[in-house]
Each structure stands twice: as C-alpha cells, then as structure tokens.
Chain A
Amino acid sequence: MSRIDTSVNIAGVVLKNPVMTASGTFGSGEEYSEFVDLNKLGAVVTKGVANVPWPGNPTPRVAETSSGMLNAIGLQNPGMEVFIKRDIPFLKKFDTKIIVNVCGRSEEDYCQVVERLADEDVDLLEINISCPNVKEGGIAFGQDPKAVEHITSELKKRARQPIIMKLSPNVTDITVMAKAAEAGGADALSLINTLTGMKIDIHKRAFALANRTGGLSGPAIKPVAVRMVYQAANAVKLPVIGMGGIATAEDAIEFILAGATGVSVGTANFFNPTATEEVVSGIEAYMEKYGVDKITDLIGAVR
C-alpha cells in the first residue's frame, strides 16, 4: 500500500487522503471515535459552530425517506467557547486535519467565530451558508450570488485559516454561486449541503418533522450531488470537496472523477458507523486494482 499516494492538497493544507466527514453527521468526532480510528481520516469536519450556544429546532428532527433521510436539527451547538475548550483538544490527539464548520444568523455572527478561531490550532474553516433549517442566516446567505460574494470577502479578510464556502444545491445554477464564492476570495468550495424536502405522515395527517421542512441527504441525492460537483469544479479554479450520499469508496471515486479533490461521508455514518474508514481503504484498493499511483490523477479525470 506504500506505493500509492492518496494525499491531496486543499488550499495549501495537505490531507493524507481525501476522505473527511460531512458536517453535522459526526459531531466533533468523539462519538464515532469508538468505532473509527480518526487517525486514518484525511480530516474531521465538525458540526457547525456558532458564536453562542444554539438550542436547535423542536423534535421530531429526523425522518427516514426512501434511500435518504430528512433532518431539521437546526444547528444545535455549544458555541465557540465550549468548542475551543473541549473539542479542539480532543481532535488534536489525532493525526488528522481539523476543519471547523462555522454557522451564524448574521454576518457579525460568522465574523465573530472566524475571528475567535484565528489563533486556534485548526487547519481550515468551512463556512455554512447553506443550512436550510434555520430561519435566519444559513441558506439566506447562500442563494444570492451578491450575498455569497460579500460574505466570502468579509470572512476572507478576517480569517487566519483558508476558508471553504459550503454551497447549497437549492439554487437554479450552482456555477453562479461557485463563481461568486471564488470572486469573494474563497480558498475552496464544498458541496452539496442538503436539498430542502418535506414528508407528511398520512396516518397522523401531520408533518413528519416539527420544522415542516428538512434537509434531504443520503444515497437518494447522490446523482444530484455528482452533477453539481462536476459543474462547480469545471466553473472555478478552486479545489472542490464533494459530498451528498457518499457511502462507499465507489461513491467517493465517482465524485473524485467528477472533479472533487476531497470527499465527505455524511449520512452513511448513521447506517454504517465505520463507513469513513471503509471509504479510505476502498479508495486504496481501487488505486491498487487500476494501477493509479497518485490520487490526484483521478481528480476530474472524466470530462
């Protein structure tokens, strides 16, 4: 296995392999460290961190759909101070990169978190401008190209670490948003966040989620995600982190061939707690099988 090179470079940060966790599905790694050796992952992407604790939405917050699930957690999180004191030291115990997902209700919220993290030992920041489950902030910043460019440039001015803008699929043309983030000075892009969906319980004649709508994730959305990653990767010069329904190494390779430099495993963690590690070993096996020396040779290889 030593012959192959699985490392990738995202905005100057070298990851030992392209496999990371999708924000919100892996906490800050602690819960899944019982099942997964975090040292084997390219990076851990944390649950969204805001400036202050957020209580999230009422329950029920999750519902299953065919080959997917809806969630409307509402970005419950302990806020940046607890995160810095508790979660960063935990993650520093492992040989993996730390990517902090940053969320906010207003521009000031995002700025505060980015500034507070400036002197912390984390590798990259992922800016969540695409959560469909909070009333203010989140997706409101991610559906208008002017807003995307503006917030990207404001955060880029303040951030000490490279910033990844996380894009929403709930837009007419993903390339417009990708270009807006690039124009604002983003160092990388990640996509896709969840697709807004709804489920109705016909027996109770009520919404399955207390929030009425939720974000659809899981294998059901993978073809949409592959298409958008392909479009975005071909529209900008930035590295793209692809996600949306990745459960196996085959899924991950599909995203890489479409143009992704990194790949995130999300909902799959819920039905296979060891999915991330299996994706890492599966990618290595694929490279061995096809005689691929460097994983970078696969990025965007299908055009």
Chain B
Amino acid sequence: MAEKFREDSEIISQECIGTDIYSMWLKTDKIARAAVPGQFISVYSRDGSRLLPRPISICETDKEKGALRIVYRIAGAGTREFSKYHRGIKLSILGPLGNGFPLERAGEGKKAFLIGGGIGIPPIVELSKQIGGVRQIIAGYRDEVFLAEELKQNGSLYIATEDGSCGTCGTVIDAIKENGLDADVIYACGPTPMLRALKSFAQERGIECWLSLEERMACGVGACLGCVCQSTEVDGHSHVHNKRVCKDGPVFLSTEVEL
C-alpha cells in the first residue's frame, strides 16, 4: 500500500482560471513525489467550524520542485475559503489518497481516450503527461473552457461544450462520434451522468474503461464508510456490494461498479 503523508504545505501560487474555478500550486515534498495520476488529496479548512477535509484531485505534480497543483471549483464554504488564500499561506493536506489510474493498461501501440468532464478534467492533465501510447484527450464543458492549453501539450485535444460555444456541441461521446475516434482503453473522470454514459458506450464497443468516481467523504482513508459506491462484486472490506471510493477507488473498472 502506498504511503500517505500529512503535511503543512505552503501555497506557492493561486489564480482564478474560470468562473469560480481556481488553480493552486502547493509546496509538498512527500505527497507530490509519491503521487500517481488520478489520486487525490484531503485539504483541511483553517476554520475550525468546518471539520471535514475537502477531497480534491491532483491536477499536476512537479516532482523536482516537490510541488503539486490542484484545480477546483467553488462548491461551498470550504472551497470558497481556499480560493481566498494567497502565496505563503499554509494548508494542512493529507495524501496521496486513493488508487489512481492504471497507466500500465495503455502504452506502446495502444490508443487511449483520456476523458474529463467539468471539474473532473484536472486529473486528466497529469494522466496525459504520464501515460504512454496514443493519447486522445476529450474534454467536456458546460460552456466555459479551462485547462485546454495544458491538455493540448500532451495529446490531441477534442472539446465538447453543452452550449456549442467551443468544439462539438454536446457531450464527450458526441465529440468522439463527430471526430470518428476509436480507442483500446478509456480513462475518465467527471460527473456521474457522463461516467454512466461512458460505461455503456464502452460496454457496447467492448472497450476497457476506467472511471474515477466522486462521493461525499468524511475520513478520506477508508475508515468511516461514508463514500461507498455500488459494486458488482462483493467488496473486500464489508463483504457486501459497497466499494469505498476513497480507498478502493476513486478509479474503478467500469464493469466493477453500478452507476
């Protein structure tokens, strides 16, 4: 099992990169070096009235500098608090958490779809840097596009927007179809409706598909059983059909989970 670290990490920089979307680089020696694409960190509030850590996916790591980047959307008081902090402020974080994307399922001679939807796009950035083979990145947005520059650097980027303001008008699957793309393996992170659609898309076409799930969490380390998802097989922990998103996931094979 990969080791987890609790660190008081210093904010190196923070900028707003879209409506309510923020990008923060944190100085964190151990976590950045240990992290693999698809893992997340728990970010603790500095306000004692907000107890629970916010699980936020790792967007990028810079192992030489010992730094990691998170890109998050303001979803409530906790993330709003984080968005107000600037360089030099310290945030308590725990990580790297979860399993991450299995990079070895792609590689030489294989074509992969790297798919992100909305605030599920950030972990696709580091994934696109580290994965081998042919990288076809499909990013779905409601309207406003973000992180496109980063994604473009690591593969061919296809964009879908719900309002049609950029790229394909519609979903990531519409973009795949419009561009006539195919793949041997899919990696995806995004809202549940998108993951559900990709699960059946992959099943129809017989493509191996890895999905990164999201759920309300408390502990982030597998103890509280707050963030379970329905699994097709009996889970290893409670011997029912509940896998823990924080510990057994967040990345699951699409056939492993019911969405």
Question: Interface on A for B, CB 8 Å cutoff?
Answer: 24-27, 31-32, 34-35, 47, 53-56, 59-64, 66-69, 71, 73, 76-79, 82, 218-219, 267, 269-271, 273-274
> Residue-by-residue, is B165-202 near A (CB-CB < 8 Å gives 1, otherwise 0)?
00000000000000000000000000000000000000
Beyond A56-B238, A63-B216, 7 additional contacts (C-beta under 8 Å) are A27-B222, A56-B225, A56-B242, A62-B52, A62-B224, A64-B51, A273-B221
Question: Chain B contacts of A53 at CB under 8 A?
Answer: 238-240
Q: Contacts A34-B221, A56-B228 known; A82 to B239 CB distance under 8 Å? A: yes
Per a CB cutoff under 8 Å, which of A25, A77, A79 touches B224? A25
- Distance in angstroms between the alpha carbons of A62 and B240 in the assembled complex: 19
Q: Is the CB of A270 within 8 A of B218?
A: yes
- Distance in angstroms between the alpha carbons of A76 and B3 in the assembled complex: 26
* Interface residue B50 (Cβ < 8 Å from any Cβ of A): yes
Question: Interface on B for A, CB 8 Å cutoff?
Answer: 1, 3-4, 6, 44, 48-53, 78, 94, 215-229, 237-242, 247
Q: Is the CB of B216 within 8 A of A61?
A: yes
Q: Is the CB of B224 within 8 A of A270?
A: yes
Q: Contacts A61-B228, A64-B50 known; A56 to B240 CB distance under 8 Å? A: yes
- Distance in angstroms between the alpha carbons of A225 and B160 in the assembled complex: 53
- Distance in angstroms between the alpha carbons of A26 and B225 in the assembled complex: 10
Q: Is the CB of A35 within 8 A of B6?
A: yes
- Distance in angstroms between the alpha carbons of A27 and B226 in the assembled complex: 12
Offer 21 A-B interface pairs, CB within 8 angstroms, sorted by A: A27-B222, A27-B224, A31-B247, A32-B221, A53-B239, A55-B238, A56-B225, A56-B242, A60-B215, A61-B216, A62-B52, A62-B226, A68-B51, A69-B51, A69-B218, A71-B224, A76-B240, A218-B51, A269-B223, A271-B52, A273-B219
Question: Chain A contacts of B228 at CB under 8 A?
Answer: 56, 59, 61, 76
- Of A59, A66, A68, most buried by chain B (CB within 10 Å of CB) is A59
- Distance in angstroms between the alpha carbons of A276 and B161 in the assembled complex: 48
